[in-house]
Amino acid sequence: MIDPFGREITYLRVSVTDRCDFRCVYCMSEDMTFLPKAELLTLEELDRLCGAFVGLGVRKLRLTGGEPLVRRNVMWLVRSLGERLGGGALDELTLTTNGSQLRRFAGELYECGVRRVNVSLDTLDAEKFLAITRWGKFEKVMDGIAAAKEAGLRVKINTVALKGVNEDEFDDLIRWCGDEGFDLTFIETMPMGDIDGDRTEQYLPLSMVRARLMERWTFTDIDYKTGGPARYVEVGETGGRLGFITPLTHNFCESCNRVRITCTGMLYMCLGQNDSADLRAPLRASESDERLIEAIDEAIGRKPKGHDFVIDRRHNRPSVARHMSVTGG
């Protein structure tokens, strides 16, 4: 699959549910209304959809949510997708999670072929963790991260940089990840969905964060890539890798190789644009994948050059109305 700007699409992120057992302040409202279960694709449909993309050249699949591990019987899908590994069709199957269910599923994830997980963790302070996630249990997440490490999964910690909330912890996070052997990525808050708050109060430019960190840490730019938008450095004092995802201060669209599918079968060619394609209709219209593949090809032909992320300071509204949990984190 080649988009209009010559970029090969090899990475598919799949949201298996919009539901989550947390209510993170930068992601969703505390009083969320989730999609009716009847609107969601079945696990079998998600499996078939992923298979079509793999047949078209996707080499990496990432399961996301909401929180993917809260979906009932989701490990059936993980196991089925994992069977495509090793045969030359699929290079990697990964997962983004809040860590709450990792103690339960880490071993099985490894058995299914998952070798790497991203865990969203914005603080090492239990009280602050509860304030950010509203519903999360810090000890349970830390236990889940330990379980992932014990199971042989490589762990990358994703930390959203929040002004006045966790910016005093970045040194501790770098040090902890270095000690544990985890990669760490800092992410700018993304202006998506109504969150019951003012995004201008949350936004912390990572250019500023990096400059401050370089007063205490030695960073060396490296070519390491995971298929996503992060740009990595090696931290001299720990030997660990530190990534920066900067949708606002530095547009990373020129090398975009990915598209996203929601749990309802909507294909978004860009996280920061509203243009989409309904794949549920052609998926259910026929047992053949012919119409589905035609719809995918047509949509890839509309993939934009870049996103429209911006924080609207005048009207205090997100640049994209849908929640991150709907599109897939």
| Percent of the residues in the chain that have a pLDDT greater than 70, as a whole number | 87
User: Please, what is the average pLDDT of the chain?
Assistant: 87
Hey, what amino acid is at 54?
V
> Both tokens of residue 78?
């993980």
Picking from 122-136, 178-192, 231-245, 283-297, which range would have the lowest pLDDT averaged per residue?
Answer: 178-192
* Residue 43: per-residue pLDDT: 97
- Per-residue CA distances from 9 to 60, 61, 83, 114, 269 (Å): 10, 12, 21, 21, 10
pLDDT class for 197, splitting at 50, 70, 90?
Answer: low
* Residue 226: per-residue pLDDT: 76
* Residue 89: per-residue pLDDT: 87
DSSP letter at 322 equals S
CB 158 within 8 A of CB 121: yes
Picking from 95-99, 179-183, 242-246, 306-310, which range would have the lowest pLDDT averaged per residue?
Answer: 306-310
Domain boundaries, the chain: 11-327
Determine how many CB atoms are found less than 10 A away from the CB of residue 124: 17
Sort strands 231-235 and 183-188 into parallel, antiparallel or unpaired.
Answer: unpaired
* Residue 86: per-residue pLDDT: 82
Picking from 25-29, 144-148, 309-313, which range would have the lowest pLDDT averaged per residue?
Answer: 309-313
pTM for the predicted model, two decimal places: 0.86
Comparing 193 with 265, the larger pLDDT belongs to: 265
* Residue 115: per-residue pLDDT: 97
CB 261 within 8 A of CB 15: yes
Hey, what amino acid is at 108?
E
CB 250 within 8 A of CB 205: no
pLDDT in tens, 119-144: 999 999 999 999 988 888 999 999 99
CATH of 11-327, one of 3.20.20.70, 2.40.430.10, 3.40.50.460, 3.30.365.10: 3.20.20.70
- Rounded to an integer, what is the distance from CA 182 to the centroid of its chain? 17
Sort strands 219-221 and 241-245 into parallel, antiparallel or unpaired.
Answer: unpaired
Residue 326 has pLDDT above 60, yes or no: no
Picking from 73-77, 80-84, 190-194, 260-264, which range would have the lowest pLDDT averaged per residue?
Answer: 190-194
CB 328 within 8 A of CB 61: no
